[in-house]
A and B are shown apart, each in its own frame.
Chain A
């Protein structure tokens, strides 16, 4: 059975202007208990954190531990 590409909106948003992943920060990726955040290279060659998997407990360590306040945790659409 082949897989489909079903879209899903993710609750956690990273402001990539504020994110300093380029300087080696991975704080949010490190602390997330569900391990759903990752670092990616953008088109301009700079790096940013983003939510890769829609598997979030809306618990907030990512937002609380980000040194530049780049992370916003929203509620997953299904329960907000």
Chain B
């Protein structure tokens, strides 16, 4: 294994789904159900059995809209406010209307959700305004249950192939080029439609631990979805709205105020005082978190040590077995007992992720990108605050729409030269006798991302970043060196990460205002509704560098009253807010 082989195979399918994490499997199931004749291929860089953010399980649905607790109108309003107004509501509204059906479907797969004595879903309040968090006491079964469904539906699964570039022709998608991560052999997949569910760009910033793989996101999500969409000419929206999360320091997993909050836990400063009214993750909340750290009142902690023994035992049970099961080992190693000490938190590295913020490939309410036949869903598609249920639901939309789309089209022809060019690019690091290993290219890129791109954003620093990235790119293109197929996968990831770093800098420079709290805090500019109440769309320009345009926010479906617009900016304890409603 890992020996570099020379080979290329071509296969054809109706619908190619890239990424078998969360959105991908649901897209595959829905497409196949709608068109049982269709040849649906689900391809993953890892093994679909245990791939993606939900690899070990999930603690709950963060954004469920359940009749009796919330309406689609309320949810759409809340997410619009949380996302500072920059939101095409159609996609959020459709999600809010249809996600309940998806919950019931997941339930029928054997993934159980918390219910009360009357058998009703037991939804908890974590958001600033409404009630949307549904715990999953046996959330460790989610991936296994999904996998069973995929086998039952006879979806063709291809593991350990990494997609590197999309193929396009006749103005639409034509397929994808993929590389085996253990042999470097190429697989060209021709497809009538392609659905991308490659997750977040999780290896963009460097975690404070300095460990390249100690990221918040599953570290196999290195951002190929973003890079592939970019090189194919698709539009990417609001990339400057970075993902930044409040996490357990060093461990870098969620502290999980969503689990602990409804049971009485909260985020506190070093004095043990609550300073934010709401623990739901948003740029505005992250700004308060940042201010507390900067203001000398940090570190910031998750506080549980005031709770009763049974409550703490229950929190431990959930947090130590499901989502990130090594969490218990981590606390044990440091001698942290929730009964006695508070849990130190910190600010994560930056990334792109619509699952948690709003940086993603532009899509509409059918999960269609700007390229016909190309879809995106989940963390990489720009439906804001998507989370897990958003990945499932928008994945379902993509699968259903693609099943219709393929009925009327044949394979698009494409230029074979694209394949030769990609083979040359991919294999270049194998043709040298020595040089710079991918981990050093990656480390340097990500360290520079931290030095110069992390908010608060400063123009002069971002300009320096762009210069340094160019130098790293020259080194990468002329001198990167790999010894086996595994390192070749890492070299392709290094190149993706550099593409994402370039996009992050360019997008942040373009929007000359501050927006989304800490996510796009540009110290030289205030929020500017007159000029910047719009999406920014980044594409690959004629010169091969990022090009930008503004795009109007579509007229709201659910109106937001003047005095509600800034509710998420009023989270500091003591500030008058709507949270108490």
Q: Tell me if A's interface is mostly helix, strand, loop or mixed.
A: loop
Complex CA distance for A78 and B211, rounded to whole angstroms: 6
User: Given A53-B486, A57-B218, A74-B329, is A64 in contact with B1 using a C-beta cutoff of 8 Å?
Assistant: no
User: Given A1-B434, A34-B220, A76-B214, is A59 in contact with B47 using a C-beta cutoff of 8 Å?
Assistant: no
User: Given A33-B47, A78-B211, is A60 in contact with B326 using a C-beta cutoff of 8 Å?
Assistant: yes
Q: Is the CB of B333 within 8 A of A80?
A: yes
User: Given A33-B220, A78-B209, A79-B209, is A59 in contact with B486 using a C-beta cutoff of 8 Å?
Assistant: no
Q: How many residues of A contact B (CB 8 A)?
A: 28
Our pick among A2, A55, A64 for the contact of B213 (Cβ within 8 Å) is A55
Complex CA distance for A75 and B329, rounded to whole angstroms: 8
Complex CA distance for A55 and B210, rounded to whole angstroms: 12
Chain B residues numbered 19-62 whose CB sits less than 8 Å from any CB in chain A:
46-47, 49-52, 55-56
Q: Is the CB of A55 within 8 A of B212?
A: yes
Residues of B within 8 A of A52 (CB): 486
Q: Is the CB of A64 within 8 A of B56?
A: yes
Q: Is the CB of B49 within 8 A of A56?
A: no
Our pick among A1, A30, A80 for the contact of B435 (Cβ within 8 Å) is A1
Complex CA distance for A8 and B46, rounded to whole angstroms: 24
Q: Is the CB of A58 within 8 A of B326?
A: yes
Query: Is residue B160 within 8 Å, beta carbon to beta carbon, of the partner chain?
Result: yes
Query: Is residue A3 within 8 Å, beta carbon to beta carbon, of the partner chain?
Result: yes
Q: How many residues of B contact A (CB 8 A)?
A: 43
CB distance from A3 to the nearest CB of B (A): 7
Chain A residues numbered 61-80 whose CB sits less than 8 Å from any CB in chain B:
61, 64-65, 73-76, 78-80
Complex CA distance for A59 and B323, rounded to whole angstroms: 9
User: Given A59-B218, A65-B50, is A75 in contact with B213 using a C-beta cutoff of 8 Å?
Assistant: no
Our pick among B55, B182, B330 for the contact of A80 (Cβ within 8 Å) is B330
Residue of A nearest to B433 (CB): A2
Q: Mark A9-26, 1 if CB is under 8 A from B, else 0.
A: 000000000000000000
Q: Is the CB of B213 within 8 A of A35?
A: no
Query: Is residue A38 within 8 Å, beta carbon to beta carbon, of the partner chain?
Result: yes
Complex CA distance for A4 and B181, rounded to whole angstroms: 24
Complex CA distance for A67 and B160, rounded to whole angstroms: 22
Residue of A nearest to B330 (CB): A75
CB distance from A50 to the nearest CB of B (A): 13
CB distance from A64 to the nearest CB of B (A): 7
Query: Is residue A31 within 8 Å, beta carbon to beta carbon, of the partner chain?
Result: yes
Chain B residues numbered 309-335 whose CB sits less than 8 Å from any CB in chain A:
324-326, 329-330, 333-334
Q: Is the CB of B55 within 8 A of A61?
A: yes
Residue of A nearest to B220 (CB): A33
Residues of B within 8 A of A73 (CB): 326, 329
Q: Is the CB of B437 within 8 A of A3?
A: yes
Query: Is residue B8 within 8 Å, beta carbon to beta carbon, of the partner chain?
Result: no
Query: Is residue B496 within 8 Å, beta carbon to beta carbon, of the partner chain?
Result: no
Complex CA distance for A55 and B250, rounded to whole angstroms: 16
CB distance from B578 to the nearest CB of A (A): 38
Q: Is the CB of A33 within 8 A of B214?
A: no
Complex CA distance for A3 and B482, rounded to whole angstroms: 11
Q: Is the CB of B250 within 8 A of A35?
A: no
Complex CA distance for A65 and B259, rounded to whole angstroms: 26
Query: Is residue B394 within 8 Å, beta carbon to beta carbon, of the partner chain?
Result: no
Our pick among A34, A60, A61 for the contact of B219 (Cβ within 8 Å) is A34
Q: A30-B49, A79-B251 are in contact. List 18 more A-B contacts (CB 8 A).
A: A32-B46, A33-B220, A35-B160, A55-B213, A55-B219, A59-B218, A59-B326, A60-B56, A61-B50, A61-B56, A65-B50, A75-B326, A76-B211, A76-B213, A78-B209, A79-B214, A79-B250, A80-B250
Binding site for A on B (CB under 8 A): 1-2, 46-47, 49-52, 55-56, 160, 181-182, 207, 209-215, 218-220, 250-252, 324-326, 329-330, 333-334, 434-437, 479, 481, 486, 489-490
A-B contacts, 5 of them at CB < 8 A, read A33-B51, A34-B220, A35-B181, A57-B218, A60-B56
Q: Which 9 interchain pairs have the tightest Cβ spacing?
A: A79-B209, A61-B50, A33-B46, A31-B50, A78-B211, A58-B326, A79-B250, A57-B219, A33-B220
